[in-house]
Chains A and B, each alone.
Chain A
Amino acid sequence: MADYYTTKKRKKRSGYRIGIVIFGSLLIFLGSFVMYMRDTTLEDYLGIETTPSVTEPTGPDVTELVTEPTTVQSQEPELPVTSEVTEPSAGNPVGESEAVDDSYFDNCVFVGDSITYGLGSYNKVSAKNVYASVGMNISKIDTTTVETEFGEMTVIEALKLKKPQYVYIMLGSNGIYWLSNDAMIKMYSSFIDEIKAELPQTEIIVLSIPPVTADREVASESPIKNSDIDSYNDELLKMANDKNVHFVDTHSCLVNSEGKLDTDMAAGDGYHFQADTYDIFLNYIKTHTVK
């Protein structure tokens, strides 16, 4: 009998010990779960997406980055303006002048297509002074939006905010393959009238469009003839004179003795520029300025 009770007591004590271990394990597990949930949310734990709550930024500021852009309505003019637009008194095309330095471009905006876009993306001029878009052509100038410091908007909307002293326009490379010269010149003229109406103090400079390589002239897809480019540039000069705006012949600094763009100055498509070609282009502009 004593053995029976002793065994029973032993079993009871053993049972208690096991129970305590199990209970303790459960407590510790619960505690671990609480610690885990403290560092997350129920939604994260369950993998449910929710709108996160606002938290204060805790890291250091990235000081080299820009601040939030001002709203369109409150944007003040950034650039100086002349009191009168200079008549193209020296005649078109604009002749050679004393070279200006790169700060000249702070007062300019370049309007155009993907070739002009490269001025900003290659960091040749500030991207804030380039209003251009891949695929832009004169038929879409009033509808296609461009990326600007003010946000995405049309060229004329951005020009009205920026109020630059000079606006350089290079349009036609994208369009010469399928639009007639007459159609392009008509639309170009309307665009110039629009700028004049909105920005009477801004000098308008039309740029001749650049040549293409020999390979591009015979490309199986969208070939472009340099003779068509020359013909269009002649029409641009006439339009600039009719509209009393300036004309700078940037084509002349890019064309070789055969009337084409050198292959090593062009991207693979024989049409866009290599990075170094923009330097030649901009040096010509700096030495053919409007006073």
Chain B
Amino acid sequence: MKKILAFILAGAMAVSFAACSGETTTAQPACSDVVKAVVSSQTEMEQTVECNSDTFEVYYSSYGITSDMLDDYSAVYTGGAYADEIAVFKAKTKEDAGKVKEALEARLEKRSKDFEGYAPEEEAKLAEAEVTAKGNYVMLIIVPDIDSADKAADSCF
């Protein structure tokens, strides 16, 4: 009985070593790969355009996202008539990720206000849209099929 107890404790110890190794095995995908995966998941999205430094400054920096917060980013969106947007940011620290999340939530609120009473389909898209975080990754996804987009984004991590 005591030997059995000893073996059980030894086994628990071995499991503790494995679980408490201090290293994670979470994937660290390129932000552009996440964006591509989400775009591919959509069948009804209009042609998208990639974010450049000027659009980054107006659409994101103006809400408080600065380059020194990020290790990586990628964003695409459609033209003036549509609200579609897929923006993925990899923050350097947890604190930065929090600030990026706040900024993207502010942008989502602005876009929702802009389309209010203007285009019902786009309003519906924005109502389903969300800002989500996975570790230091923060994503703003506004697309026609949010469920497929979420699955596609999850598959990258």
**Complex contacts, A118 vs chain B, CB 8 Å:** 79-81
- Whether A120 and B6, one on each chain, are in contact in the complex, defined by CB atoms closer than 8 angstroms, is no
Q: A151 contacts the other chain (Cβ, under 8 Å)?
A: yes
Interface string of A46-76 (1 = CB under 8 A from B): 0000001111011111111111110000000
CB distance from A20 to the nearest CB of B (A): 9
Closest-by-CB residue of A relative to B55 is A127
- Whether B66 and A68, one on each chain, are in contact in the complex, defined by CB atoms closer than 8 angstroms, is yes
**Complex contacts, A267 vs chain B, CB 8 Å:** 46, 79, 81-82
Query: How big is the B interface, by class?
Result: 35 or more
- Whether B67 and A272, one on each chain, are in contact in the complex, defined by CB atoms closer than 8 angstroms, is no
**Complex contacts, A36 vs chain B, CB 8 Å:** 19-20, 22
- Whether A133 and B55, one on each chain, are in contact in the complex, defined by CB atoms closer than 8 angstroms, is no
**Complex contacts, A133 vs chain B, CB 8 Å:** 114
Q: B62 contacts the other chain (Cβ, under 8 Å)?
A: yes
The main secondary structure of chain B at its interface with chain A is: helix
- Whether A25 and B93, one on each chain, are in contact in the complex, defined by CB atoms closer than 8 angstroms, is no
- Whether A62 and B59, one on each chain, are in contact in the complex, defined by CB atoms closer than 8 angstroms, is no
Q: B16 contacts the other chain (Cβ, under 8 Å)?
A: yes
- Whether A66 and B61, one on each chain, are in contact in the complex, defined by CB atoms closer than 8 angstroms, is yes
Known: A58-B92, A114-B81. A120 touches B13 (CB 8 A): no
Binding-face segment, A26-34, A79-87, A160-168, A255-263: A26-34
Most A CB contacts (10 A, CB to CB) among B47, B55, B73, B77 go to B55
B residues sitting closer than 8 Å to A (CB atoms) are: 2-3, 5-6, 9-10, 12-13, 16-17, 19-20, 22, 46-47, 49-50, 52-59, 61-63, 66-73, 77-83, 92-96, 98, 110-111, 114-119
Most A CB contacts (10 A, CB to CB) among B10, B53, B68, B80 go to B80
**Complex contacts, A91 vs chain B, CB 8 Å:** none
Known: A35-B20, A58-B92, A135-B115. A18 touches B58 (CB 8 A): no
Q: A290 contacts the other chain (Cβ, under 8 Å)?
A: no
CB distance from A86 to the nearest CB of B (A): 28
Known: A60-B71, A66-B61, A272-B79. A25 touches B12 (CB 8 A): yes
Q: A116 contacts the other chain (Cβ, under 8 Å)?
A: yes
Q: A252 contacts the other chain (Cβ, under 8 Å)?
A: no
- Whether A128 and B58, one on each chain, are in contact in the complex, defined by CB atoms closer than 8 angstroms, is yes
- Whether B93 and A57, one on each chain, are in contact in the complex, defined by CB atoms closer than 8 angstroms, is yes
A window 128-156: CB within 8 A of B:
128, 130, 132-135, 145, 147-152
**Complex contacts, A115 vs chain B, CB 8 Å:** 80
A residues sitting closer than 8 Å to B (CB atoms) are: 14-15, 18, 21-22, 25-26, 28-29, 32-33, 35-36, 38-39, 52-55, 57-69, 113-118, 120-123, 126-128, 130, 132-135, 145, 147-152, 174, 267-269, 271-273, 275
Which 7 residue pairs spanning A and B have beta carbons closest together?
Answer: A118-B80, A65-B67, A272-B81, A36-B20, A25-B9, A117-B80, A18-B2
**Complex contacts, A174 vs chain B, CB 8 Å:** 118
CB distance from B104 to the nearest CB of A (A): 13
**Complex contacts, B69 vs chain A, CB 8 Å:** 57
Contact partner of B98 (CB less than 8 A), chosen from A52, A67, A69, is A52
**Complex contacts, A54 vs chain B, CB 8 Å:** 95
**Complex contacts, B114 vs chain A, CB 8 Å:** 133-135
Q: Give the docked Cα–Cα distance between A59 and B115 (Å).
A: 37
- Whether B9 and A22, one on each chain, are in contact in the complex, defined by CB atoms closer than 8 angstroms, is yes
- Whether A122 and B79, one on each chain, are in contact in the complex, defined by CB atoms closer than 8 angstroms, is yes
**Complex contacts, A126 vs chain B, CB 8 Å:** 54
Known: A134-B80, A272-B80. A149 touches B20 (CB 8 A): no
Q: Give the docked Cα–Cα distance between A188 and B154 (Å).
A: 49
- Whether A21 and B6, one on each chain, are in contact in the complex, defined by CB atoms closer than 8 angstroms, is yes
Contact partner of A68 (CB less than 8 A), chosen from B10, B55, B61, B93, is B61
Closest-by-CB residue of A relative to B52 is A123
CB distance from B123 to the nearest CB of A (A): 11
6 A-B pairs in the complex with CB atoms less than 8 angstroms apart: A28-B13, A38-B22, A118-B80, A121-B80, A132-B80, A134-B80
